[in-house]
Structure 1
Amino acid sequence: NGHKGHVLWFTGLSGSGKSTVASAVERELHQQGIRTFILDGDNVRTGLNSDLDFSAASREENIRRIAHVSALMKDAGLVVLSAFVSPYQKDRDFVRECAQGNFSEIFISTPLEVCEQRDVKGLYAKARAGEISNFTGISAPFEEPTNHELDVPTHEMSIEEATAMVVDYINTKIALDQ
């Protein structure tokens, strides 16, 4: 396929723009002839991880499984775009370890206040009302990344600008990996 596999791990709060940016990047890379696959909560929580809840142990297991699936796909030569809140640094470090070098952590650094304003599913309001427990950013912690490769502040740029930033980064990264 002319390129090595790579895991792009999008992390950030719910509503930060992880899936939106990852989907736009995936479309752009696909148009460039790069073999891609996107993993996010919507397509993983309904199948592979449908047996998990949102407890700390289940969140860790969720990321552990996704890390291994991402690494397998990367080994098959795909650029895997994984978009998950993944609130704990130790879990993101585990994903990095599984990917064995072909990994980039992308922090979608949208602040909590902006994520709450964007909350199309009403999850933050439910969490603040006590209807959802262990909700990251409200009743559960989010450990901001400390060793990420790229910071994408979607509250300060358009989706097109965010997409271009990530696409430029991965195109350079893939070229260097060959």
Structure 2
Amino acid sequence: MYKKQIDVGLKKMETRYTGPVIPSVALITPAGQALIKRQRPMVIWMTGLSGAGKSTLARMLGKELHRVGHHAALLDGDNLRLGLNNDLDFSDASRHESVRRVAEVARLMVYTGLIVIVSFISPFRADREAARALFSRERFFEVHVDAPLHVVQARVPQGLYRKAREGLLGNFTGIDSPYEAPLNPELRLNTSATTPEDALG
């Protein structure tokens, strides 16, 4: 049984890797990991402008999942800038790479049976679709955390949007770098019209 699962896993991985790389496939399947945790592993990918409320909602969701006995991990864009992505700037190329890295980390976590909450501006639609493509359909749940520009500008501390308008910050999403809103997210939350508590309810 395990040999068959390993063979199937290797065949799938061979389509993603080339060159002198020999993929190693775990003996415990994702289904086995999920069974021991008694939960359905998945990615909840929260995207939206800075100040829309992604981090607040992600933290609250993580706390609620813990309260009801689920194992969840939070991948927050700002926190990842301090470690995994600390070699990247805010150019388009670096934004593409940051999303790619986070998606791969999320994939590994889902494989171990975790619920992964991603709080990431991830401004480009193609990058989010590439992330989605790493998962089966039922394992990826995109949430557009939405709010008008004038609302998020008032929320963000240190006047970051104002500084971007004045040219003091370059490549700032929503000002001089585009944000491509999801076309068909699994969920859209307008945080200018609801409280975080109601949004999670």
**What TM-score comes out, normalization by structure 2 length?**
0.80
Task: Tell me if 1:130 matches 2:167.
Answer: yes
Offset of residue 81 of structure 1: 0.4
Aligned to 2:13: none
Separation in structure 1 between the aligned mates of residue 157 and residue 200 of structure 2, nearest angstrom: 21
Report if the CA contact (8 A) 1:86-1:92 is conserved. yes
Aligned partner (choices 44, 50, 54) of residue 18 of structure 1: 54
Aligned-residue offset at 1:4: 2.0
Do 1:16 and 1:109's aligned partners in 2 also have CA atoms closer than 8 Å? Answer: yes
Match of 2:6 in 1: none
Q: Output the amino acid matched with 2:118.
A: S
| Structure with bigger gyration radius | 2
SS of 2:158's equivalent? Answer: coil
Is 1:150 equivalent to 2:187 in the alignment? yes
8 Å contact kept, 1:70–1:99: no
Q: Which runs of 4+ in 1 moved over 3 A?
A: none
Shift of 1:122: 1.8
Distance in 1 separating the partners of 2:67 and 2:51: 26
1:87-166 equivalence runs, <5 A: 87-101=123-137, 102-164=139-201
* TM-superposition CA deviations, 1:75-121 (whole Å, max 9, x none): 11111000011111000001111123200000001111100011213
Provide the TM-score with structure 1 as the length reference. 0.90
Q: How many residues of Structure 1 are paired with residues of Structure 2 in the alignment? A: 164
Identity of paired residues, percent?
46
CA contact (8 A) 1:106 1:150 kept: yes
Question: Match of 1:32, as an amino acid?
Answer: V
Per the TM alignment, residue 50 of structure 1 is displaced from its structure 2 partner at its CA by: 0.5
Contact 1:52–1:58 (Cα < 8 Å) also in 2: yes
Structure 1 residue aligned with 2:68, among 19, 28, 32?
A: 32
The higher relative CO (CA closer than 8 Å, separation ≥ 6) is in 1
Calculate the aligned-residue CA RMSD, in Å.
0.8
The alpha-carbon deviation at position 156 of structure 1 amounts to 0.4
